[in-house]
Amino acid sequence: MEQGKTFGIPKALVWQAYQEMRQNKGAPGCDGQTITQFDEQRDRNLYKIWNRLSSGSYFPPPVREKRIPKADGSERTLGIPTVSDRVAQGVVKIYLEKILEPLFHNSSFGYRPDRPAHDALAQCEYHCRRKGWVLEVDIKAFFDHVDHDLIMKALKHHKVPAWVTLYYKRWLLAPMKLNSGELQERQQGTPQGGVISPLLANLFLHYAFDQWMCRENPYTPFERYADDIVCHCSRMSEAVRLKDQIRERMKEVGLSINEVKSNVVYIDTFPRRNVKHCFTFLGYDFKVRTKRNYKGELYRACAPGAAMKAMKKITQTIKAWKVHRSTEASIKVLAKRNNAVLRG
C-alpha cells in the first residue's frame, strides 16, 4: 500500500483493466467520451482512476440508458457506463474473479473465462442423449430484479476486502440517465452492459440456484448460462415437480420465472403426443434429428441445430445489405463491413 492511500490497489491492476476495456471496445457513456478521446490523455486518466479508487473517493457516474428491441416486441434496457467507469469496474472484477472463479459450479457457463457457450451446448447435448425430458427455465427480468442485500451478503460471506464491497455497493446504487435526460434512482437490479454485472449475476445465482440444486436435486444435471437454465430429467413427473420447486425457490430470493418461456420438453426418440418436442438454448434448437454415423447408417438422436428464429433474422440482415449492388466495393471492404455480423 502506497503511503497516504486508504486501500492497497496495485497500479498494474488498473492497467490490466484498461487493456481488457480496449479489447472489448464499447459505446460511450453518459459523458459522451469515446475510447479514442480517453486515450488522448491515457496516463493521466488511468492515474486519476487509480488515485480515486485507492483513496476511497471514487463515485461512479450514472449509466446511459440504451434500449434494445427483442424478438417478442418488448425492449431490453442496457446501462452503458462511461469509459473511465468501465476501467474502474474492471479493476474490481479482475480482483474478485480470482477469488470466486474456483468456487463456481462446473455447470455454470455464462460470462466466465475459458467457459464459452459451445461448452454449454456440448454438455447439454450429452445430457439430452441420456435423459428423455428437459425443463427449460427462464428467469423473468433477472438483471432488473436482483436483490442488492443478497449480493452484498454473498460478498461479505467470502470476506473480500472492504474496498471491494464499498465500490460494488456504489455501482449497484448508481442511477441511470434516461434518454429524456432524467436520472432514475435504482434500489434493486444491476444494469446489463456493466462490466461487473455478469460476475454479480453468477455470484447471485451460484447461491440462489447452483448450490440449491446440489442440495435439493443432487442427481439432476443442468446447464446454466447466466439466467438461462436447462435441467435434465428422466420422467415427466420429475420435470413438473422440479419446475414447481424452482418457482418457489425463485420467490424466496425475490425473483420469478417466465412461465411462457419455462417449459417441460420431451426429447427422446419414442413418439409421444400433446407435449413440446423442441427447446431453444443459446440460439440453438434442440430436438430429435436424423443423423448418420461413421458407418453411414442413419439413426435418430437429440441434437442441436441453428434456431429457426436466428436463421430467419440473419437471412433478413444479409438481404438488407444488398451485396449485389456493392459492385464497386472490394472483398476487403465487404469483409470489414460484414464479418462481425457473420461471426456473431
* Residues 6+ positions from 151 with CB-CB distance below 8 Å: 168, 172, 190, 200, 203, 204
A 10 A CB-CB count for 209 gives: 23
A 10 A CB-CB count for 57 gives: 9
**pLDDT of amino acid 2:** 56
**pLDDT of amino acid 325:** 81
Confidence (pTM): 0.86
Low-confidence ranges of the chain (pLDDT < 70): 1-4, 71-73, 344
Domain segments of the chain as ranges:
11-306, 316-343
Find cell 441434437 and name the residue. Answer: 303
DSSP 224-275: EETTEEEEEESSHHHHHHHHHHHHHHHHHTT--B-TTT-EEEE-SSS---SS
**pLDDT of amino acid 96:** 93
CA triplet 285, 229, 251: central angle to 5 degrees? 140
Report the CATH architecture of 11-306.
Answer: 2-Layer Sandwich (3.30)
A 10 A CB-CB count for 233 gives: 24
Closest CA to 61 of 19, 30, 18: 30
- Answer whether 201's CB lies under 8 Å from 190's CB: yes
Find cell 440456484 and name the residue. Answer: 209
**pLDDT of amino acid 3:** 56
- Answer whether 285's CB lies under 8 Å from 292's CB: no
- Answer whether 265's CB lies under 8 Å from 280's CB: no
Pairing of strands 263-266, 176-177: unpaired
**pLDDT of amino acid 94:** 94
